Amino acid sequence: MAKHDPLPREDRRGKTRPKAGPLRGHARGDTAPELDRIIHERVRLGIVSALAVDGSLTFNELKSLLKATDGNLSAHARKLEEADYLECSKSFEGRLPKTEYRLTPTGRKALERYLNHMEALIRATREG
């Protein structure tokens, strides 16, 4: 089945919106780069942003900061680890386990690319 091209679309008042063109600064026919789906998810973006600012944070600090559950934070941190965006070190403070996270150079570069991409989208949207 062929995909239906929904553009041009009509808004609720019946006015037709023009087809969207490429972002300014992109050659016609070029496609805009995709957002980094690993970072784009809310909790993962929160993790890498917090680590970019603070350098390193413990599991409990991230959990409190992001208002995440143990399982949710653990799953998202694992995904970032698998992408080599963060590293995890485990130790003990007395008898209590301590898990600490740091952003890797790869993770820092990925966050920088993501932020640049988002800034370009915002700029293009404002310039209309």
Interval 11-36: pLDDT, tens: 455 555 444 444 444 444 445 568 89
The DSSP secondary structure of 32-53, one letter per residue, reads PPPP-HHHHSHHHHHHHHHHHH
Q: What is the pTM of this model?
A: 0.72
Between 9 and 98, name the one with better pLDDT. 98
By DSSP bridging, strand 86-93 and strand 56-58 are unpaired
Give the pLDDT confidence score for residue 20 in this predicted structure: 42
**Token couple for 61:** 């600090």
Reference 50, options 37, 64, 30; nearest CA is 64
Domains in the chain, ordered, with CATH?
A: 37-127 (1.10.10.10)
Residue count of the chain:
128
pLDDT band at 83 (very low <50, low <70, confident <90, very high): very high
What tens digit of pLDDT does each residue of 40-72 get? 999 999 999 999 999 999 999 999 999 999 999
Instruction: Give the whole-angstrom CA distance, residue 23 versus residue 47.
Output: 29
